[in-house]
Amino acid sequence: MTSSPAVPAFTLVRPQGAPLDPSPLYTELRATQPISRVSLWEGQLSPWLVTRWEDARAVLGNPAFSTDPTHPGSPKDTPQGPRGFFVNHDDPVHGMMRRTLTREFMVKRINELRPAIARLTDELLTDLTELSEPADFVEHFALPLPSLVICELLGVPYEDHGFFQEHSKVIVDFNATAQESAQAWASLSEYLLGLVETKHAKPGNDVITRLAAQADEGGITDQDAADLGAFLLLAGHETTANMIALSTITLLSHPDQIPHILGGEEQVAGAVEELLRYVSIVHGGLRRTAVEDVTIDGVTIRAGEGVIVPIHVANRDPEFFTAPDDLDLERANARQHLAFGYGIHQCLGQPLARAELQIVLPEIFRRLPELKIAVPMDEIAFKQDTVVYGVVELPVTW
Ligand code: HEM
């Protein structure tokens, strides 16, 4: 079955000439039919697409919308779905799992990591400048930085990064088959289970050790500890790495705004929020299923129906953000973006992502004032088919 012309197919593709903007289809839908149907799985499913900022919050903040992909109407990537992440549980299971980690991501705890993040940034930038030009900014900086940080936090040996980066890539790839992504997830989870066992015997000062201790106390199982660790490992580097690369591209294409990223602490924090809004790397749409009838903005979503919330589209809503397609690093309400989601599943790692971006972005432009992209914009390969938007590589000179 193919999708009828009245119900457009859900797409991740952003426009070629404006690779940081959402698809024009969504911009038009937001203006004309802000809650409308899209088709998934070649027309077999027609979930709702909720595109306005206010409506997006109304869905994400309402417990009548479940993240559990085992609901028959769940708009998961493939009919076979589900993936075993803890974001895919509703309360009370979700709340129980989230509580095992809350302390690890408290702002105070993350702030203690700032000196280590600054040191790693410095070392990686030094190593980058010792390479011959042009060099790939993703391979040599944007990816290893968050990967090293999350390894330090979790207590995962960085030497294994080739293994877990390869599997993470498959898990976020929309083109991977259900079998391939299940296999990648199983490998990652098995690797973490081995690590949990090691930490029982040889504890360290890290998150996996503390999860292993919670398993000892009987609150969770070793497998839960491994799955939580695997999700953090995945979430901890795929996201921030792409955000560093895309923020760098964005700043290089708005050179007049670079001084804002070199400003004082508060100015940098505000600039990072605007970059999070403008770039909105999580562009696969947050997926929910209604468990009861809910009316939003005059549209009734029936129990059992799927909903996709493309937060990158809601983050460009002109009813909430003035001139939303302009980058304005001094935007007053930038912090109210939905780039980290909203409601009970709002990103747990956001203090870490913020700390990394606030340290890394100014340092890039301070250390490399002559930084340039070594190829024309239209030759940069964007990752169109992944839950998290990004670039495959970014050749730069400095
Ligand atoms: C710029 C970087 C990041 C962005 C844009 C981002 C975005 C998001 C979004 C949109 C969600 C909500 C998903 C939903 O509601 O369906 C989420 C959830 C989550 N993120 Fe992040 N994330 C980032 C970095 C991180 C990091 C560094 C970590 C941890 C190391 C992390 C861990 C998590 C976890 C555990 C959840 C699930 C929370 C829950 O279900 O309660 N994220 N993230």
pLDDT of residue 177: 82
Q: In angstroms, what is the span from residue 90 Cα to ligand 1's centroid?
A: 16
Is residue 260, in this structure, part of any structural domain at all? yes
Q: Residue 219 has what pLDDT?
A: 82
Q: Are the C-beta atoms of residues 151 and 362 closer than 8 Å to each other?
A: no
Best probe residue, ligand 1, of 86, 151, 312, 347 (max atoms within 8 Å of C-beta): 347
**pLDDT beyond 90 at 80:** no
Ligand 1 pocket, mutate which of 228, 239, 287 (most atoms under 8 A from CB): 239
Percent of the chain exceeding pLDDT 70 equals: 97
In this structure, are strands 372-373 and 395-397 parallel, antiparallel, or unpaired? antiparallel
Cα distances (Å, whole numbers) of residue 253 to 141, 162, 365, 372: 19, 31, 13, 10
Q: Are 154 and 207 in contact (CB under 8 A)?
A: yes
SS3 380: coil
Tell me whether residue 287 is in a domain.
no
As a whole number of angstroms, the distance between CA 121 and CA 172 comes to 26
Listed in sequence order, the residues at least 6 apart from 93 whose beta carbon sits closer than 8 Å to its beta carbon are: none
Tally the domains of the chain: 1
132-149 tens-digit pLDDT: 999 999 999 999 999 999
Residue 383 lies in a domain: yes
Phi and psi dihedrals of 246, rounded to 5?
A: -70, -35
DSSP states of 103-128 as a string?
GGG-HHHHHTTHHHHHHHHHHHHHHH
Q: 313 lies in a domain?
A: no
Reply yes or no on whether the pLDDT at 82 is more than 60. Answer: no
Residue 66 counted as domain residue: no
Helices (H) and strands (E) in the chain, counts: 15, 10
pTM: 0.95
Domain of residue 205, CATH code: 1.10.630.10
Residues of the domain holding 375: 89-278+318-397
**Within a domain: 393:** yes
* Residue 4 resides in a domain: no
* Nearest CA among 397, 395, 393 for reference residue 381: 393
Residue 6 CA to ligand 1 center (angstroms) comes to 33
The secondary element (H helix, E strand) that includes residue 311 is helix 311-314
Query: Does some domain include residue 75?
Result: no
**Cα separation, 67 vs 65, whole angstroms:** 7
Regarding predicted confidence, which is higher, 162 or 82?
Answer: 162
